[in-house]
Amino acid sequence: MSDRYLPYLLPVRSIVFVIIFIAAAVLTGKDLDSISNIWSIVASAVNIVTILLLIIASRKSGGYKKLINYEKGKTSRGQVIRMIILILVASFGGMYIAGFICYGKIPYMSPMMIMPIPIVPAVINLLILPVSTALAEDALYLGCGTGHIRNRYIAVIVPAFFFALQHCFIPMLFDIRYMIYRFLSFLPLTVILCINYRKNRNPLPIMIGHSAVDLFAAGWILATSAVPGFYEKLCSM
């Protein structure tokens, strides 16, 4: 695929998530609320497909590493630590502010995001979700988007928008307030990541920090899946 077409891939994940969740609801005969706990399993699967798509799409223009502008030896330990802290603060800060705007609560975190799933998928997700999410999302929105859009403002606004938008459909619910909450939760973080990447062109600190956040989420799911009654206790707090 020619480099100039790479930004057109930005909406792909949002579309795929909508299709998968609606198809799963139809095939199982359940409503979307009832299958929302499988979001992490779906995300891991979509991540793998996204990575394969990006490898194929970037093959003619230098491959995946060139797509994300990876350079060995460019990253310091300090850069990684600062980025992990920045991403954690922006992630939780965004969720708390969005929770207050949409639900009038601080702190507020959507309980469905840590709902238990069968223990085996929960363990597998702990290993796959954090790394695959960084490799898929950061390569798509930063590599294909910010890295290949020339206008400096559009290179931040458009990828950040689609980066945040996909979270409206992970999981997919026909609830406008929930969708706005999810979008606003991640928009500050995605804007920060796009600005940072455009300035430094270094994906590794972002990917490591991104993985750390998703490791936290996958860890919570594993905990609620492994300990009976833990999820109900968290929801009652």
pLDDT in tens, 35-61: 999 999 999 999 999 999 999 999 988
The per-residue pLDDT for 221 is: 94
pTM: 0.94
The per-residue pLDDT for range 207-236, each reduced to its tens digit, is 999 999 999 999 999 999 998 888 887 777
Q: Are 146 and 197 in contact (CB under 8 A)?
A: yes
The per-residue pLDDT for 210 is: 96
**At residue 14, does pLDDT exceed 80?**
yes
Which of helix, strand or coil describes residue 2? coil
The per-residue pLDDT for 60 is: 84
Domain hosting 45: range is 3-65+74-236
Residue 234 to residues 19, 125, 206, 224, 229: CA-CA distances in angstroms?
Answer: 31, 21, 30, 9, 9
**At residue 25, does pLDDT exceed 70?**
yes
Domain count, the chain: 1
The per-residue pLDDT for range 74-112, each reduced to its tens digit, is 899 999 999 999 999 999 999 999 999 999 988 777 788
The per-residue pLDDT for 196 is: 97
CA distance 139 to 79: 19
Mean pLDDT over each residue of the chain, to the nearest integer: 93
**At residue 237, does pLDDT exceed 70?**
no
Q: Are 169 and 200 in contact (CB under 8 A)?
A: no
The per-residue pLDDT for 232 is: 81
The per-residue pLDDT for range 157-169, each reduced to its tens digit, is 999 999 999 999 9
